[in-house]
Structure 1
């Protein structure tokens, strides 16, 4: 049973990819969603970036080839981990910043199905305020407006996109549980995306 929703049967196992720009609420929402599902995993894609101790190259607006290579390595490792947990019977909530053409690339790399994509898209000014209020910072040389523009103009509109500007994390999770297993499903490219 889903916690706090005793009359609702749990959704079937899936890989749920939650994306959005930094400070969009991905970590909080992913943790809350995983905590409400039976046999669930919260997989933080950024952990694979942080595992590189020497030689790590961060993504910046002046993107270096090595930074892109490391980003794609991170996505590959996250996809492999998600597939492994899913094969063991877990619902995997994978959260990471996945923008532009990389979203379709990661969707294609994750082999497990059903695969649900949820993009958290609060307004940039809301993200900027959240960034000021949180203890960790992640923008570096990026601004919320730059990343938001990349999300909205360069990212394929796969899955369920939610403007969470006026929602609490719990409300966002409620909406994901109510809608994602029907509206966020993506299929293999040969079949087409829903």
Structure 2
């Protein structure tokens, strides 16, 4: 098992489409780092009790506004934990041009980005096995196409289709400091 090659503190953004393994990988990574936080960006979406606008293929302006609010809140929380001396593993779905914008939202450095990019057919199987469902009107193939064609190639991109979460975390710990640093 690789050692912890990440320097602390840092902010590590783990992104990818739904069912890519973000939650599991982020939690295991945070547990393996000293003085760390696992920050789930989606928690800020779920805090909206009334008036929440969900992202759909026919996205409305209010849904985009709430998504960007969620990203801003997550970035601010990550910065606050970082300022307190924690390594932050921030997990969220940040795709397309929003990924470059997120680099600007998070002011803490070093900032590392890890994009989990399993094959869409693997994601579809994972989605069927999950108790939570997140796709709604989206399909894994639609989101994967957006990930691969519209998302800037920032940080470390991993095809974790054939890896266990532990193997993915091992690879992150081995490669992230040299391949995932941005900004």
SS of the residue corresponding to residue 119 of structure 1 reads: strand
Q: Which runs of 4+ in 1 moved over 6 A?
A: none
Which position in structure 1 is the counterpart of 2:77? 81
C-alpha separation in 1, matches of 2:4 and 2:182: 23
How far is the alpha carbon of 1:134 from its aligned partner?
A: 1.0
Task: Say whether residues 1:95 and 2:77 are aligned partners.
Answer: no
Asked if the contact 1:82/1:92 (under 8 Å) is kept, the reply is yes
C-alpha separation in 1, matches of 2:147 and 2:86: 29
SS of the residue corresponding to residue 118 of structure 1 reads: strand
Task: Say whether residues 1:12 and 2:8 are aligned partners.
Answer: yes
C-alpha separation in 1, matches of 2:102 and 2:50: 25
Change (3 A) 1:10 1:108: closer
Asked if the contact 1:10/1:38 (under 8 Å) is kept, the reply is no
Change (3 A) 1:8 1:72: closer
Root-mean-square deviation (CA), in Å?
A: 1.1
Higher RCO, Cα 8 Å, sep 6+: 2
How far is the alpha carbon of 1:24 from its aligned partner?
A: 0.2
Task: Say whether residues 1:146 and 2:142 are aligned partners.
Answer: yes
C-alpha separation in 1, matches of 2:42 and 2:5: 31
C-alpha separation in 2, matches of 1:72 and 1:119: 19
SS of the residue corresponding to residue 18 of structure 1 reads: strand
Which position in structure 1 is the counterpart of 2:60? 64
Q: Deviations over 1:6-31 (max 9, x none)?
A: x6566321100000000000000000
Question: Any unmatched runs of 5+ in structure 2?
Answer: none
How far is the alpha carbon of 1:92 from its aligned partner?
A: 0.1
Task: Say whether residues 1:105 and 2:101 are aligned partners.
Answer: yes
TM-score computed with the length of structure 2 as normaliser:
0.97
Asked if the contact 1:116/1:180 (under 8 Å) is kept, the reply is yes
Asked if the contact 2:116/2:157 (under 8 Å) is kept, the reply is yes
Task: Say whether residues 1:130 and 2:126 are aligned partners.
Answer: yes
C-alpha separation in 1, matches of 2:24 and 2:139: 21
TM-score computed with the length of structure 1 as normaliser:
0.92
